[in-house]
Amino acid sequence: MHSKLNLYGRTAAAWLCALLLFFPIFWLGLMAFKTEGQAISTPPLLFFTPTLDSFREVLARDNYFGYAWNSLFTSVVSTAIGLLIAIPAAYSMAFFPTGGTIGLLKFMLSSRYMPGVGALMPIYICYQYFGLLDTRIGLTIMFMLMNLPIMIWLLYTSMKELPREILEASRMDGATVWDEFRHVVLPLSVGGIASTALVCMVWSWNESFWSLNLGASNAGTLAWLIASYSSPEGLFWAKLSAASLMAIAPIMALGWFCQKQLVQGMTFGAVK
């Protein structure tokens, strides 16, 4: 009886947490189908006639697909370039470590959580000097550098779990370092690489700080478009909600279909 009560309590708590986490998405979807007048009504309207006017206006007037293309380009390309650097770096650290490998990994991980505002001024000046402000290439480089420490860490922990016996057997068969990397390590690490790529793509897609400070109308991502609905006249809640809903819909769909890989990528190295 006691165990059943505990089970029911944990289930109720899980449902409560899920509802609390889902409520902002529900409210966002509700606001997106209102008119601007309905969106700012007091008390809030729960029952109303839905309208698609805000979606039509966002698509027609605000170049939604241009901003969506910028988000897609910067997230995919930055992840691809980052993997080209992170995979060999993680392989080297996992299988040919030195005395400073762990210290270097910890330093890279700590740099990922440094407040972006602390590095904004020098980065902004460098971008201005090299003509990278408000360019997709500039944002791509920034997103890649932002996620590179996490990429290396996740891939390092993934590769450390590979059985050493397989690698030793390949070396006994005369495999070179390049053969071992290409024919043994890469095929065995496909799951970890895919998980890392998905996690970093999601982070790049959701990134707003660097998008707002290094981008504008030419290379701005969906985060820049959403921020543009804040003006001195106030917030356009209905259009803001419609643009936000369309911005998060692709990444929510990706997360739904790839949730196993995302969870695996975010928990690499958590259990030893």
- DSSP string over 76-108: HHHHHHHHHHHHHHHHHHHHS--TTHHHHHHHH
Q: Dihedral angle at the C-alpha atoms of 197, 200, 206, 212, nearest 10 degrees? A: -120
- Report d(CA 18, CA 9) in Å as an integer: 14
Who wins on pLDDT, 236 or 93? 93
Please report whether residue 36 resides in a domain.
no
**Greatest mean pLDDT range, 49-53, 70-74, 169-173:** 70-74
Structural domain includes residue 203? yes
Mean pLDDT of 184-210: 86
Note whether residue 86 is domain-resident: yes
**Structural domain boundaries enclosing 132:** 62-266
Q: Is residue 9 part of a domain?
A: no
Structural domains in the chain (count): 1
**Confidence category of residue 80, pLDDT binned at 50, 70, 90:** very high
- Residue 259: the pLDDT is 65
Count H helices and E strands in the chain, helices first: 15, 2
What is the CATH classification number for the domain harbouring 180?
1.10.3720.10
Assigned domain for 14 exists: no
Q: Which amino acid is at 258?
A: C
Grade residue 264 by pLDDT with cuts at 50, 70 and 90.
Answer: low
pLDDT for residue 272: 41
Q: Is residue 27 part of a domain?
A: no
Query: How confident is residue 271, by pLDDT bands cut at 50, 70 and 90?
Result: very low
What per-residue confidence (pLDDT) applies to 141?
A: 94
Q: Is 41 part of any domain?
A: no
218 occurs within a structural domain: yes
